[in-house]
Amino acid sequence: MLFLFYWYDETLSWNTSEYSNNQIFMKKKDFSLWNPTILLRNAIGQKSYLGNLTNLYGVALYSFGSVDMFGHHRFKSHCEIDMTYFPFDAQECSFEITSWPSEIQFLYSFCTMENSNSKWTDSEVSYTLSNTSLICTIRANRKPTFLIINLIVPTVLIGFLNVFVFIVPSNAGEKLQYSVSILLSFNVYRGILVDNVPANSENMSFLSYYITYQYVFGVVVITVTAVLLRTVHSNESKTIPRSCLFVVKIVDFMTCKRRCLFGKVRVRDNEACGAENNIGQSVRRNEVTWKAVCAAFDFLLFWLFLLIQVFGNIGFFLSLKGVKVLGN
Top pLDDT among 105 and 275 is at: 105
What are the tens digits of pLDDT across the range 194-215? 887 777 767 788 888 898 899 8
What are the tens digits of pLDDT across the range 292-303? 788 888 888 899
Top pLDDT among 220 and 24 is at: 220
Question: What pLDDT shows up at residue 101?
Answer: 62
Return the percentage of the chain with pLDDT > 90, whole number.
Answer: 7
DSSP one-letter string for 212-263: HHHHHHHHHHHHHHHHHHHHHTS-TTSPPPHHHHHHHHHHHHHHHHHHHHSS
Question: Mean pLDDT across the chain, nearest whole number?
Answer: 75
Give residue 32's identity as a one-letter amino acid code.
S
Question: What pLDDT shows up at residue 78?
Answer: 77
Phi-psi region at 58: left, alpha or beta (left = phi > 0; alpha = psi -120 to 50): left
* Identity of the highest mean pLDDT range in 15-19, 186-190, 196-200: 186-190
Average the pLDDT over 13-26 and give the result. Answer: 76
Question: What pLDDT shows up at residue 113?
Answer: 62
Question: What pLDDT shows up at residue 47?
Answer: 55
Task: Tell me: pLDDT of 264 over 50.
Answer: no
Q: How many CA atoms lie within 13 A of 245 on its CB side?
A: 13
Average the pLDDT over 51-72 and give the result. Answer: 73
Sorted by where each begins, the domain ranges of the chain are 1-78, 145-322
Contacts of 48 (CB under 8 A, 6+ apart): 39, 40, 73, 75
* Nearest residue to 95 (alpha-carbon basis) of 133, 154, 42, 21: 42
* Nearest residue to 316 (alpha-carbon basis) of 202, 94, 153, 167: 153
Give this prediction's pTM.
0.69
Top pLDDT among 122 and 275 is at: 122
Taking a C-beta distance cutoff of 8 angstroms, is the pair 297, 228 a contact?
yes
Question: What pLDDT shows up at residue 138?
Answer: 82
Question: What pLDDT shows up at residue 32?
Answer: 67
